[in-house]
Structure formats: structure tokens, C-alpha cells
């Protein structure tokens, strides 16, 4: 129903910042909880952050609290992940996801690479 495309990844020095974008098409995201996940080399995909349909409820994995901010612009059909104070351990492929039911994550993007050098 909805297609997701991530962008904004790249190479950054430790301590730097990046903003990832997830552009949705095929359906509006106003009734979807949106999330970000990441997968580091040799590891499983893990949850990073999520945001409620209205934007009022935000959840983060402990390791990114205070550094990352998830936001959404339903009018633009886009969700963002602002990443500050990046660390080498943040290096991963970052994926955008969506769910209309607050259960299983139904839709996924193809990912964007984030590399943080020491």
C-alpha cells in the first residue's frame, strides 16, 4: 500500500550530524506509526525510534536518547531522523518502516547507509 524511500545517509566524522528522510508514496502516512531501524555489519536489524500518528508519542532505543530525534510531516508524507553527536557505533544501514496497527511493521524501505568515522 505504501512505498518508503530513505535518503540522507553518508559519511560523517564522529560528533557530526546527519538528517535522514523517509519519503512515502502510494498512501498517506497520517494514520501510520512510523519508525527507524538499523542494521550494522554482521548484526540483526534493530529498533532505533518510532513516532505516533500525531507525532505526540516518540520512543527511542536507550543508546540514541538525547542524540537522535524522530519527527514527521504528514502534509509532506515524510518522516525524519535527526542524528546528532554521531558515534562510530551508529554505523549501519538505516531503514524506515510503517505500521497502521501498532503491531508488526508492515512496510519497509530499502535503507540508506550511514558511516561514522572515528
Residue-wise pLDDT for 26-53, tens only, equals 999 999 999 999 999 999 999 999 999 9
Q: Report whether pLDDT(101) > 90.
A: no
Given this model, what pLDDT does residue 7 score? 98
Q: Report whether pLDDT(102) > 80.
A: no
Q: Is 71 left (phi over 0), alpha (psi -120 to 50) or beta?
A: beta
Task: Of 69, 78, 63, 68, give the one whose Cα is nearest residue 32.
Answer: 78
Residue-wise pLDDT for 2-12, tens only, equals 999 999 999 99
Amino acid at each position: 500500500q505504501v512505498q518508503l524511500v530513505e535518503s540522507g545517509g553518508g559519511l560523517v566524522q564522529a560528533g557530526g550530524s546527519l538528517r535522514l528522510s523517509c519519503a512515502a508514496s502510494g498512501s498517506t502516512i497520517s494514520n501510520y506509526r512510523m519508525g527507524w531501524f538499523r542494521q550494522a555489519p554482521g548484526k540483526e536489524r534493530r529498533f532505533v525510534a518510532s513516532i505516533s500518528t500525531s507525532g505526540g508519542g516518540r520512543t527511542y532505543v536507550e543508546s540514541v536518547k538525547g542524540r537522535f530525534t524522530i519527527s514527521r510531516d504528514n502534509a509532506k508524507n515524510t518522516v525524519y531522523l535527526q542524528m546528532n553527536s554521531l558515534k562510530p557505533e551508529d554505523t549501519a544501514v538505516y531503514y524506515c518502516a510503517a505500521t497502521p496497527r501498532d503491531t508488526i511493521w508492515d512496510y519497509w524501505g530499502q535503507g540508506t547507509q550511514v558511516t561514522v568515522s572515528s
